[in-house]
Amino acid sequence: MDKGTPRREFLKQTAIGMAALGLTASTRARAQGANDRIRIGQIGCGSRGLDAHMAGVNKFAKEQNIEIVAVADPWRVRREMAAAKCKEWYGVDAKQFVSYRDLLEMKDLDAVMIASCDHQHTTHLEAVAAAKKDVYCEKPLAKDFEGLKRAVDAVKAAGIVAQVGTQLRSMSSMTGAREFFKTGALGNVARIEQCRNSSAPYWYGYLKDAKAEDIDWDEFLMNAPKKPFDAALYTGWYGYRDYSDGPVPGFASHYLDLIHYITGAQFAGSAVCIGGVYTWKDKYNFTAPDNVQATWTYPEGFIVSYSSNFGNGSGNTFNIFGDKGSMDLVNWDKPVFSTDGVAKEKGGGKAETKDVPPVEHADHFLDWLQCLRSRQTPNASIDAGYQHAVAVLMAVTAMDTGRRQIYDPDKREIREG
């Protein structure tokens, strides 16, 4: 490689040249060798970072010629677990850091995956953009609106490849649902709804024993209110409002992103929301709502409803309702179209159902890895992440204020209305 050629540009030109020769991805990877290997760092080594991000890209490590060479996490235990996986998978002694700052100082790092806590996402994303590293960032993209805008602007200014972790849109079933929606078979769509319930909040499943001496508490708190160390706060952070806002950002972010992907809508026009802790009142004093109901209106002419009941796991639904038919997506792997409930004036009669055919799409992590070389825009672009984050923040703000929120896309402004 010419010393005057940036590594990222070299990767792109090499990939283009070999593609022109008709070589397969695996052949290209072997031909490029270690000098053309994409080196990745992981920020956040919890279950999402280790079991989803790291495992997700490792499936394609040989094909795409990548390796994970650095990990960063405030908790020594998780850092060491992540580094051990790197040793097992790649035979490398991954560098271990407490802080993302030190990881980003590495000169030979090409890309970074962010699987940190919700309240840290925009800080980490903005820093990665400033370091001009390509990035995969977990959802929800942001917990605060000003941080969201800064981070998104930084990513765009840096010109980096950014994939947001709303991986459901890359499922073949959901791509099929998108193509089916385009046919107009549903007719006029006026309502979309999801009820995503469980017998208990998901944050209980993350509670673990943790020792203060193994954790850099200030690195975890970041800009959150200063509090003394508490193992429940640290490991069960999903359940505390200082670090996460509950099921709307946790679950509805996926739902909203799918609606945008399938229908082509971009921004909610308004949002109302109510929620609170109604069922799980115990020694942990979780503050994230275990029951929530959010409703958005879209300028395309439909209402979007989302609810979670974490006191009873029955009643799960996901439907797109049109006046000529509906699409049931509660089984993510197998959407179903039905004419049940259609008025006779709209062609209704005997109810018919049929499976919505899938349309093949690259795995979400593979899509990102491929785009690191091609420099194309990944399936869940930074714009898509911004769009779901705006809708989430509108609902959370409405829940906290008790007032309807509206979004002005021209001014990039959320306000009461």
Q: How many structural domains compose the chain?
A: 2
Write the CATH number for 13: 3.40.50.720
25 and 93 in a common domain: yes
325 and 200 in a common domain: yes
- What are the structure tokens assigned to 34, written together? 């270690």
181 and 292 in a common domain: yes
Q: Is residue 1 part of a domain?
A: no
94 and 197 in a common domain: no
Q: Residue 329: name the closest of 180, 200, 201, 163 by CA.
A: 180
Q: Is residue 136 part of a domain?
A: yes
Domain containing 189 equals 170-360+390-416
191 and 155 in a common domain: no
pLDDT tens for the chain, 417 residues long, are 443 345 555 555 554 444 444 444 434 443 445 679 999 999 999 999 999 999 999 999 999 999 999 999 999 999 999 999 999 999 999 999 999 999 999 999 999 999 999 999 999 999 999 999 999 999 999 999 999 999 999 999 999 999 999 999 999 999 999 999 999 999 999 999 999 999 999 999 999 999 999 999 999 999 999 999 999 999 999 999 999 999 999 999 999 999 999 999 999 999 999 999 999 999 999 999 999 999 999 999 999 999 999 999 999 999 999 999 999 999 999 999 999 999 988 888 888 999 999 999 999 999 999 999 999 999 999 999 999 999 999 999 999 999 999 999 999 999 999
Predicted structure pTM score:
0.91
Q: Is residue 27 part of a domain?
A: yes
333 and 228 in a common domain: yes
179 and 90 in a common domain: no
Q: Is residue 2 part of a domain?
A: no
